[in-house]
Structure 1
Amino acid sequence: MKFRKLCNVGMSFLTKPYYRTRVLIKSGYYDSLSDEDFLKKIFPKYMGYPLDLENPKTFSEKLQWLKVNFRDPIQTVMVDKHEAKHLIAQRVGNQYIIPTISVWNSVDDIDLDRLPNQFVLKCTHDSGGIVICKDKSTLDWEAAKAKLRTFLKRDYSRIAREWPYKNVPRRIIGEEYLSELGSNDILDYKMYCFHGEPKLTVVCSNRFSKTGTRMNFYDIDWNPMGIHFGHYPPLPTEFPKPDTYGEMQQVAMELSKGCPFLRVDFYEIKGHLFIGELTFFPGAGFERFRPMSKDYELGEWLHLENVHRG
Structure 2
Amino acid sequence: MLRKIIKGLKNPKLFMLYILRFKIFQLIPDDIFLKIKFKLVTGEKLNLKHPKTYNEKLQWLKLHDRKPEYKKLVDKYEVRKYISETIGGEYLIPMIGTWTKFEDIDFDALPNQFVLKVTHDSGGLVICKDKSKLDIEEAKRKINKSLKRNYFYRGREWPYKNLEPRIICEHFLNDEDNIELKDYRFFCFDGKPKFIGVDFNITDKTKTRRNLYDLEWNLLEGQISYPNELSKKIKPPSELSRMINLSKVLSKGIPHVRVDFYNINEKIYFGEMTFYHQSGHGIIQPKELDYLMGEWIS
Within-5 A mapping of 1:52-67: 52-67=47-62
- 1:289 alignment partner AA: I
Q: Confirm whether residue 16 of structure 1 aligns to residue 14 of structure 2.
A: no
Within-5 A mapping of 1:83-98: 83-98=78-93
Cα 1:265/1:182, change in 2 over 3 Å: farther
SS state of the match for residue 31, structure 1? helix
CA distance in 1, matches of 2:269, 2:254: 21
After alignment, is 289-298 or 170-179 more displaced? 170-179
Residue of structure 1 equivalent to 2:209: 214
- Preserved contact between residue 189 and residue 255 of structure 2 (Cα < 8 Å): yes
State the 1:223 CA deviation: 2.9
After alignment, is 156-165 or 144-153 more displaced? 144-153
> 22, 25, 30: which is aligned to 2:20?
25
- Preserved contact between residue 26 and residue 159 of structure 1 (Cα < 8 Å): yes
SS state of the match for residue 153, structure 2? helix
State the 1:89 CA deviation: 1.1
> 46, 70, 79: which is aligned to 1:75?
70
Q: Confirm whether residue 233 of structure 1 aligns to residue 227 of structure 2.
A: yes
- Preserved contact between residue 212 and residue 222 of structure 2 (Cα < 8 Å): yes
SS state of the match for residue 25, structure 2? coil
Q: Confirm whether residue 178 of structure 1 aligns to residue 197 of structure 2.
A: no
Partner deviation per Cα, 1:48-104 (whole Å, 9 max, x = no partner):
221111110001100000000110111110111111111111111111110011111
After alignment, is 202-211 or 253-262 more displaced? 202-211
Cα 1:109/1:154, change in 2 over 3 Å: same
- 1:35 alignment partner AA: D
CA distance in 2, matches of 1:11, 1:148: 26
Cα 1:55/1:126, change in 2 over 3 Å: same
State the 1:183 CA deviation: 5.5
- Preserved contact between residue 195 and residue 212 of structure 2 (Cα < 8 Å): yes
- Preserved contact between residue 238 and residue 263 of structure 2 (Cα < 8 Å): no
Q: Confirm whether residue 243 of structure 1 aligns to residue 238 of structure 2.
A: yes
SS state of the match for residue 263, structure 2? strand
Residue of structure 2 equivalent to 1:149: 144
After alignment, is 130-139 or 37-46 more displaced? 130-139
- Preserved contact between residue 193 and residue 261 of structure 1 (Cα < 8 Å): yes
CA distance in 2, matches of 1:63, 1:14: 30
Task: Give % identity.
Answer: 42
Cα 1:32/1:45, change in 2 over 3 Å: same
Cα 1:285/1:84, change in 2 over 3 Å: same
State the 1:10 CA deviation: 5.3
Residue of structure 2 equivalent to 1:265: 260
Within-5 A mapping of 1:74-153: 74-153=69-148
- Preserved contact between residue 46 and residue 287 of structure 1 (Cα < 8 Å): no
Residue of structure 2 equivalent to 1:306: none
Cα 1:150/1:218, change in 2 over 3 Å: same
Provide structure 2 residue ranges, at least 5 long, that are not aligned to the other structure. none
State the 1:16 CA deviation: 3.4
TM-score (norm 2): 0.92
Provide structure 1 residue ranges, at least 5 long, that are not aligned to the other structure. 304-310
After alignment, is 115-124 or 97-106 more displaced? 115-124
SS state of the match for residue 57, structure 2? helix
State the 1:152 CA deviation: 0.1
State the 1:247 CA deviation: 0.5
State the 1:226 CA deviation: 1.5
Residue of structure 2 equivalent to 1:203: 198
Partner deviation per Cα, 1:244-283 (whole Å, 9 max, x = no partner):
1111111101111121111011111111111111100110
Q: CA RMSD in A?
A: 2.2
Residue of structure 1 equivalent to 2:43: 48
SS state of the match for residue 69, structure 2? helix
CA distance in 2, matches of 1:141, 1:296: 45
- Preserved contact between residue 192 and residue 263 of structure 1 (Cα < 8 Å): yes
- 2:267 alignment partner AA: H
State the 1:17 CA deviation: 5.0
Cα 1:275/1:285, change in 2 over 3 Å: same
CA distance in 2, matches of 1:95, 1:274: 8
- 1:111 alignment partner AA: D
